[in-house]
Amino acid sequence: MSVASLNAQLSEISLTGNYTTTSKLFLHPEASNPDIKYIYEELNDIYSITAEIRYGISESIETALAFETIRKTIARDDFNLNGAAISIEEGYKLYPIDLSVYYRLPFSSDKFKFFMGGGVGVYIGKMIRNVVNVSTENAGFNIDFGIQASLGIDYYINDKIALRGHIRFRDPEIKLKSKYTDVFVNYEGRIYLIYPDEYTTKVNIDGITFGIGIVVNLVGIMPF
């Protein structure tokens, strides 16, 4: 049975490894002074994993639900702790959930399926900041929404297994309200007070995402 004959009922799962080129972490996004408000750190070369389920609703249209996990940190050696410059780990975790619609391009074949699509995304986030013995936790429910678009190709090894490559474009921004797990930091035998104990940052993933992965066709395996 050819891939083309399965498209009207195509149901599949995929696992993809991703590389995103750039992102920004704004340290004081709620500051009134624009010189401070737009201070950011570059967190580039981001790796992530995506699991996606697709279901074909027509010969050329598919819907999809994707779950992704992203973690990116950098080391800083200029964190101001009451006048002392110390080294910390800083970054973010994001959990994007994307609902998409894909269109199979007409020049696709049994072996090569070209697709393009887009949709909406829900982004759940957490700030990472490790200051010696103190870390951070969410001070609220950090969630935001955005849109995304992608282009891709599937190469079918056989009717059940394919290799996937894709490019995704998105520009989500999410504010992260956080608080320290403790207000006292023990650094080099001295106790420092962290103030304020709650703070807000903002993540903007503005880079292009490249992905490569494997697809399993569920037609004939699963009862839907």
Per residue in 171-203, pLDDT (tens digit) is 999 999 999 999 899 888 888 888 777 899 999
Residue range 124-138, pLDDT digits in tens: 999 999 999 899 999
Q: Quick one: pLDDT at residue 221?
A: 59
Q: What is the pLDDT of residues 142-170, one digit of tens each?
A: 999 999 999 999 999 998 999 999 999 99
- Residue 203 CA from chain centroid, whole number: 11
Burial 151-171 (b: 16+ CB within 10 A, else e): bbbbebeeebebebebebebe
Residue 193 is predicted with a pLDDT of 87
Task: Say if CB 149 and CB 171 are below 8 A apart.
Answer: no
Residue closest to 167 by CA, chosen among 58, 7, 4, 19:
19
DSSP 131: B
Q: In degrees rounded to 5, what are phi and psi of residue 3?
A: -65, -40
Does residue 224 have a pLDDT over 80?
no
Task: Show the tokens assigned to 154.
Answer: 């599937």
Share of the chain above pLDDT 90, in %: 73
H helices of the chain, in order, are 34-37
Omega prior to 196 cis, within 30 of 0: yes
How many angstroms separate the Cα of 29 from the Cα of each of 20, 133, 149, 201, 202? 23, 26, 26, 6, 6
Write the Ramachandran bin of 59: left for phi over 0, alpha for psi from -120 to 50, otherwise beta. Answer: alpha
Rounded to whole angstroms, the Cα distance separating 54 from 25 reads 32
Is the pLDDT reported for residue 94 higher than 70? yes
Domains of the chain are: 4-217 (2.40.160.20)
**pLDDT tens per residue, range 31-88:** 999 999 999 999 999 999 999 999 888 888 999 999 999 999 999 988 888 777 888 9
Query: What DSSP state is assigned to residue 2?
Result: -
Could you tell me the pLDDT band of residue 3, with boundaries at 50, 70 and 90?
very low
